[in-house]
Chains A and B, each alone.
Chain A
Amino acid sequence: MELSDANLQTLTEYLKKTLDPDPAIRRPAEKFLESVEGSQNYPLLLLTLLEKSQENVIKVCASVTFKNYIKRNWRIVEDEPNKICESDRIAIKANIVPLMLSSPEQIQKQLSDAISIIGREDFPQKWPDLLTEMVNRFQSGDFHVINGVLRTAHSLFKRYRHEFKSNELWTEIKLVLDAFALPLTNLFKATIELCSTHANDASALKVLFSSLILIAKLFYSLNFQDLPEFFEDNMETWMTNFHSLLTLDNKLLQTDDEEEAGLLELLKSQICDNAALYAQKYDEEFQPYLPRFVTAIWNLLVTTGQEVKYDLLVSNAIQFLASVCERPHYKHLFEDQNTLTSICEKVIVPNMEFRAADEEAFEDNSEEYIRRDLEGSDIDTRRRAACDLVRGLCKFFEGPVTGIFSGYVNSMLQEYAKNPSVNWKHKDAAIYLVTSLASKAQTQKHGITQANELVNLTEFFVNHIQPDLKSATVNEFPVLKADGIKYIMIFRNQVPKDQLLVSIPLLINHLQAESIVVHTYAAHALERLFTMRGTNNATLITASEMAPFVEVLLTNLFKALTLPGSSENEYIMKAIMRSFSLLQESIIPYIPSVITQLTQKLLAVSKNPSKPHFNHYMFESICLSIRITCKANPEAVGSFEEALFLVFTEILQNDVQEFIPYVFQVMSLLLEMHKNEIPSSYMALFPHLLQPVLWERTGNIPPLVRLLQAYLERGASTIASAAADKIPGLLGVFQKLIASKANDHQGFYLLNSIIEHMPPESVDQYRKQIFILLFQRLQSSKTTKFIKSFLVFINLYCVRYGALALQEIFDSIQPKMFGMVLEKIIIPEIQKVSGQVEKKICAVGITKILTECPPMMDTEYTKLWIPLLQALIGLFELPEDDTIPDEEHFIDIEDTPGYQTAFSQLAFAGKKEHDPVGQMVNNPRIHLAQSLHKLSTACPGRVLSMLSTSLNAEALQYLQGYLQAASVSLL
């Protein structure tokens, strides 16, 4: 592409088209631009347009396109072609800085971004002039230009704040410091001078203060990694000026906007950050300045208003004080009673007040409000900062601070009492103050875990919290209601149980509140109370204590889901789940209505699943309904199937991916409830479950395996007779799973069920193939996880088909295979098997090999008899071997067994642990003793002589113990 007018014209037209709302016009234009961006001169054409185009919209569009082009193409990736030709690169670097500086702000920002992207790659080696070029502009006296330079410098240097220390990085910083630190300092001083000469010129001041903000930010970046020599030498200049800027006020700089922070606020806020940086990292050097900053920042706080625009400044300033007051050597700055009182009164209390903005969020943006208030995403708020300061001060001054605040709490409560409808906010602040004062440590699961002993929480609860909640009108003073409920929630471990019991009906009542925050808090509080543990690890609140409230609780919970704004409220759904789990059989009378409501809900949300937590708890609740009901009345399973299958079919047919793993889990649960043969409705579905498409989604694998296992458990003979043609498909699933390092354990689950339940003759023709497959995998890519599963499987096989069958099938695949597997796999690895049932299966299997496999006694395999016995005793007695070979760490991280879709595993659909040898063998040690006894009776003398010649002493001792316990002896 040449730099011609014609090309400029073409480019202009295409750029214009990229702004067209009609995709039919826009897309081809975008495609065209992409297709030509590899041509030489393309970026230069864009630069020409953004500078010279007649139309402003084209200028802006060209600048954005240019920046995106740079972002995509500037980096030279190793082994990939250079996407921008060298002469264009040089031309861009030569022109971009002056161009940026002479452009209007909108375009300047784009070019500044582009410069920092280029700088990230080329600066400093491949762009040596950049710094000098920038620094020279400081002399221009034109603050539009200077701010452009500062902004660019800021975008270049801000990475110093988070990158790791390295020689390369520090060399760059040193270079920057050498060229930049002194001019920046001079500019800083000159700008401050100018601020005082132009103290009455509002527009000049605005520009100058923008510069100061950028300078303060640059200071932060340049000082971040370590304290540079230059700044240590010039600390006096910087800190004195920062300090005086903190105390500066100028009416001309005050803004009317209540929300958006003004220049003055932004500058002071950055200065607080700078001071905090020095206080934290360069304490020794900064110590002489620190007290001054503490005083200045404290004064700043006292004089700053309640408007939202000051929030960042105030919270930064308070956090600064909070971090300083915890340090032992600054303790004295706060120690004085007057200072403490003043901080409490003028800094903490005002910032705890509930403001108009909070009230707005409470009403109109409740989801956000709850997130901030309940889940602690309030890190930057004033309340939170004030709270941290309280905790910081309490480290050294808990007594005095508690004393001071008690006074405030009382007076605020008195104010409230005088005229509640006007003064309710005073009470809100009082509750907040008590909460922040009392809580020393907190977790979501347990609420407050460490409280300030100087605060009487129960007394406050009885006198000031309960009365609000007892009020007949649930919709009055919603903020105080929410405060009260939250109080119960977080102090649930401090308030005595009888008081909690009194609160339960109050909370249930508040599920009806119109305010989303209030009914959500009520649901959440109930849910939390129901999870508390009492003695013996049982729930603190029992089902019988809840008996009087069951109906109203369930009614109100389900009604709350119909309140505006709460149709998919996860807190309510979780409370429903938790109530079911606590109440158990007392919910049975309500199940018909409950299951109708849940299925309706399920049908509704399956149209567009958007709240994963809500959906998860909904399925958990469905599972609970099924379990609880069928436990009392197994016949009821049919009515659940009737209610649910219609919706499930729809979900499967519409392929609602989020829900399919849940559906399989619920179906497994239902199928496992059947006591008799598998119903035909399930059998009809069986072939569909083997569809490869379902197995391609990793989230489906665990629940589908579980479902197939349920089929095998209940319907193996039906499958063998009515669906024998599907057996290869079933084994195909096993093969698919076994091929993957991530899913092989699932493949073994399936295989184990097949071996355990299918009639032997139905799988006879496939058995050899199964083993060959396993041996191949063992040879090509064995992992610890695979070996563990493999060991369990072959022992299960041995238990089911006999040791001789195992030896025969191994040796039929390859001569001496059996011995090789014993020697190379079973004996050295058996110690790695984990899990009680798994170990038991292995123990019984190995016992069979030792005692019921003639070739072990009279062939070359005999030499393995003692090592195998030794390994078995090791399995019984030694700790599990959990070492993992080196190269496997990486597999484990990515392919940990488990559910990939985050929320898909349903706890209440949980499967009963299955012990295939449970009926046969109770105590495997005794079983070993008895089996050995039997063997020694069959061939007297041989066992004893082998034991006495080669079993090690310790193992022999254990073995004698088993024999004794079994009351048998060897012949």
Chain B
Amino acid sequence: MPVRKHGQHMKLFKNKGKDETTLRRQRVEVSVELRKAKKDEQILKRRNISIHSKEEDPSLGQDRAAEIVQPSLEEIVEAVNGEDTQLQLLATQATRRLLSRHKDPPINQIIELGIIPRMVEFLGRADNATLQFEAAWALTNIASGTSEHTRAVVEGGAIPAFISLLSSPHMHISEQSVWALGNIAGDGPIYRDVLIARDVIPPLLALVSPATPVGFLRNITWTLSNLCRNKNPCPPLDAVLKILPVLVILLQHEDKDVISDSCWAVSYLTDGCNDRIQVVVETGILPRLVELMDCPDLIVMTPALRAIGNVVTGTDQQTQEAISAGALTVLPRLLRHSKSVIQKEAAWTLSNIAAGPSHQIQQIITCGLLPPLVELLDKGDFKAQKEAVWVVANFTTGATVDQVVELVRSGVLKPLLNLLLVKDSKTILLILDTISNLFLAAEKLGETEKLCLLVEELDGLEKIEDLQNHENDMVYRAALDIIEKYFSGEENINLEPQTGQDGLYDFSVEKQDFNF
């Protein structure tokens, strides 16, 4: 995991190696997932089933059903490979129909027929627009399947054919090609880069104009987003530089789907190294993204938040750009959003801002983020709570003493200590580190004793004591460390001489008021 740049304050803390991990975190910490794949993310590949779906409906009138005689697979192979254009069209249409049915399209069987190269040939039949269109549609749906399916289409030679069809005089053919290319690009970085190398971008961008119908524009935007998508490697810089200006325009569109996919595209472009973030920042798009982050529609808010979240994994300066664009004024609402996924993403974003220098932390306070943060720690869903813990951990690492006091005053301690019961070693360790940071601040103020009492009152002490039995070595040592440093010498503090007329024990330290 690349560790983000961090401020001077790191020097003040021990075990630096460990603390660095609490700073800026990119989205993907662990690439292996145990969970079900996320359902709410943007779709990678799509099948074209929207039109003519009635053809499959068995409840249709008999006359209609009779009109369409579905040939057998053998007949299809024969016709496609034959020379009769009419039969070619009927067979291609039949194939497309099979691939467009709602349930279980027989993609594997069609591939096994070996007719893909022939279909690719049909794409070049400028004389027969209908055949071109049917072949394009069928290939689109094959490419929408697994990686293996997509590969079959690519290896059939479809890429150059589709790219040249982008400039087809027939809009529906051009649109279908955009779709097919989107599916190919969505397969992963290899085919994406093959497309880019084949110069897919200029003809694609040429399709965007004020006159482009909304439906078509949605398809283009989605395909563009797939061209921006995926890492290892990320898309070539010159391609990105070509796409970005168009994305900036598309983000101003009024259609939600267009905006949503544009936001996703930006979120992919910002999900990487700081140089890439810089490229996006320089377009001046951040204020618009922040505005969209506040949009009531989940399909817009989610990718916009994601994009801003990615930006703040960048340098302090890049983070500052997001802050200046107003990100912190929107985040309080998102932390309180009814969807826990949004709460979680918002908290993740905030955690990276909190990893910044103290003047950025100050803006977190000024923008009123502490109350919703404390609420989230207290009542949020577990995943959101975990992110909230990161916020607090990063905050206490970089904040000034006054800022830490502000944090404690906002009531963070109680929910934080309660979370020590959580069944996740990493979170527990983060909380223990945070508590150590709080004590460091308290020591500077001469308020260690007061913090000790507060921790004990909130039942934190017994939880920390209990963690000395934790199976995880680092957790156990962190707990032990706190107990030894702050809670084992109770008597010495307690025993401080109280009288003092004789001057004998009159050197007790003047205590200031604990201002938490």
Please tell me if the beta carbons of A907 and B497 are within 8 angstroms of each other in the complex. yes
Closest to A617 in B: B491
Please tell me if the beta carbons of A226 and B34 are within 8 angstroms of each other in the complex. yes
Across the interface, B34 reaches (CB within 8 A) one of A225, A283, A445, namely: A225
Residues of A within 8 A of B497 (CB): 907-908, 910
Q: Which of A156-164, A676-684, A693-701, A855-863 contacts B (4 or more CB under 8 A)?
A: A156-164
Smallest CB-CB A-B distances: 9 pairs: A907-B495, A170-B32, A162-B471, A162-B472, A441-B457, A443-B456, A889-B14, A229-B36, A226-B34
Residue A620 is within 8 A (CB to CB) of chain B in the complex = yes
Size of chain B's interface in residues, with CB distance under 8 A? 55
Please tell me if the beta carbons of A283 and B382 are within 8 angstroms of each other in the complex. yes
Residue B490 is within 8 A (CB to CB) of chain A in the complex = yes
Please tell me if the beta carbons of A163 and B35 are within 8 angstroms of each other in the complex. no
Please tell me if the beta carbons of A174 and B490 are within 8 angstroms of each other in the complex. no
Interface string of A150-172 (1 = CB under 8 A from B): 00000000010111111100110
Given A910-B505, A912-B507: A328 in contact with B379 (beta carbons within 8 A): yes
Residue A173 is within 8 A (CB to CB) of chain B in the complex = yes
In addition to A443-B461, A445-B456, A449-B453, 18 A-B residue pairs with Cβ atoms within 8 Å of each other are A159-B471, A161-B471, A164-B425, A164-B426, A171-B32, A225-B34, A232-B36, A283-B382, A323-B421, A446-B453, A620-B495, A886-B11, A889-B16, A893-B14, A908-B495, A908-B497, A912-B505, A913-B507
Residue A905 is within 8 A (CB to CB) of chain B in the complex = yes
Please tell me if the beta carbons of B462 and A889 are within 8 angstroms of each other in the complex. no
Residue A99 is within 8 A (CB to CB) of chain B in the complex = no
Residues of B within 8 A of A333 (CB): none
Residue A444 is within 8 A (CB to CB) of chain B in the complex = yes
Residues of A within 8 A of B29 (CB): 165
Residues of A within 8 A of B (CB): 159, 161-167, 170-171, 173-174, 177, 224-229, 232-233, 277, 280-284, 323, 327-328, 376, 379, 441-446, 449-450, 531, 537-539, 581, 584, 616, 620, 627, 631, 882-884, 886, 889-890, 892-893, 902, 905, 907-908, 910, 912-913
Residues of B within 8 A of A445 (CB): 453, 456, 490, 494
Please tell me if the beta carbons of B34 and A912 are within 8 angstroms of each other in the complex. no
Please tell me if the beta carbons of A376 and B462 are within 8 angstroms of each other in the complex. yes
Contacting A at CB under 8 A, from B473-516, are: 474-475, 488, 490-492, 494-499, 502-505, 507
Across the interface, A444 reaches (CB within 8 A) one of B426, B429, B456, namely: B456
22 contacts between A and B (CB under 8 A): A161-B471, A162-B471, A167-B30, A170-B32, A173-B34, A226-B35, A227-B34, A228-B34, A280-B382, A283-B381, A284-B340, A379-B462, A379-B466, A443-B453, A445-B453, A445-B494, A446-B453, A450-B457, A886-B11, A892-B14, A905-B492, A910-B505
Cα distance A620–B36 when bound, in Å?
63
Residue B458 is within 8 A (CB to CB) of chain A in the complex = yes
Output the least CB separation between A906 and chain B (Å): 9
Residues of B within 8 A of A531 (CB): 494
Please tell me if the beta carbons of B495 and A281 are within 8 angstroms of each other in the complex. no
Interface string of B313-340 (1 = CB under 8 A from A): 0000000000000000000000000001
Cα distance A449–B456 when bound, in Å?
10
**Interface majority SS on B: helix, strand, loop or mixed?**
loop
Residues of A within 8 A of B36 (CB): 229, 232-233
Residues of B within 8 A of A166 (CB): 30
Given A226-B35, A443-B456, A631-B504: A165 in contact with B30 (beta carbons within 8 A): yes
Closest to A883 in B: B12
Residue B31 is within 8 A (CB to CB) of chain A in the complex = yes
Cα distance A56–B495 when bound, in Å?
60
Cα distance A538–B456 when bound, in Å?
24
Output the least CB separation between B20 and chain A (Å): 14
Output the least CB separation between B68 and chain A (Å): 38
Residues of B within 8 A of A282 (CB): 382
Given A445-B453, A907-B495, A912-B504: A284 in contact with B381 (beta carbons within 8 A): yes
Please tell me if the beta carbons of A539 and B498 are within 8 angstroms of each other in the complex. yes
Closest to A328 in B: B379
Output the least CB separation between B63 and chain A (Å): 44
Across the interface, A162 reaches (CB within 8 A) one of B14, B475, B498, B502, namely: B475
Residues of A within 8 A of B54 (CB): none
Residue B103 is within 8 A (CB to CB) of chain A in the complex = no
Given A162-B472, A170-B34, A174-B34: A902 in contact with B488 (beta carbons within 8 A): yes
Closest to A379 in B: B466
Given A441-B457, A444-B456, A631-B502: A907 in contact with B34 (beta carbons within 8 A): no
Across the interface, A174 reaches (CB within 8 A) one of B32, B379, B474, namely: B32
Output the least CB separation between B280 and chain A (Å): 28
Cα distance A883–B13 when bound, in Å?
11
Output the least CB separation between A574 and chain B (Å): 8
Interface string of B348-371 (1 = CB under 8 A from A): 000000000000000000000000
Residues of A within 8 A of B475 (CB): 162
Residue B424 is within 8 A (CB to CB) of chain A in the complex = yes
Residues of B within 8 A of A177 (CB): 34
Residue B49 is within 8 A (CB to CB) of chain A in the complex = no
Please tell me if the beta carbons of A584 and B453 are within 8 angstroms of each other in the complex. no
Output the least CB separation between B278 and chain A (Å): 28
Please tell me if the beta carbons of B472 and A227 are within 8 angstroms of each other in the complex. no
Output the least CB separation between B65 and chain A (Å): 38
Residues of B within 8 A of A912 (CB): 503-505, 507
Please tell me if the beta carbons of A889 and B35 are within 8 angstroms of each other in the complex. no
Residues of A within 8 A of B470 (CB): 162
Output the least CB separation between A324 and chain B (Å): 13
Residues of B within 8 A of A902 (CB): 488
Cα distance A539–B502 when bound, in Å?
18
Closest to B380 in A: A283
Residues of A within 8 A of B472 (CB): 162-164
Residues of B within 8 A of A616 (CB): 491
Cα distance A277–B382 when bound, in Å?
11
Residues of A within 8 A of B503 (CB): 912
Closest to A376 in B: B462
Output the least CB separation between B455 and chain A (Å): 9
Given A232-B36, A584-B499, A912-B504: A907 in contact with B492 (beta carbons within 8 A): yes
Cα distance A443–B456 when bound, in Å?
6
Please tell me if the beta carbons of B504 and A627 are within 8 angstroms of each other in the complex. yes
Residue B422 is within 8 A (CB to CB) of chain A in the complex = yes
Given A167-B30, A905-B492: A441 in contact with B498 (beta carbons within 8 A): no
Cα distance A631–B421 when bound, in Å?
52
Residues of B within 8 A of A890 (CB): 14
Residues of B within 8 A of A161 (CB): 423, 471
Please tell me if the beta carbons of B504 and A229 are within 8 angstroms of each other in the complex. no
Output the least CB separation between A587 and chain B (Å): 14
Residues of A within 8 A of B33 (CB): 170, 226
Output the least CB separation between A159 and chain B (Å): 8
Closest to A233 in B: B36
Closest to B426 in A: A164
Cα distance A283–B459 when bound, in Å?
24
Cα distance A283–B382 when bound, in Å?
8
Please tell me if the beta carbons of A227 and B494 are within 8 angstroms of each other in the complex. no
Cα distance A173–B35 when bound, in Å?
12
Cα distance A892–B13 when bound, in Å?
11
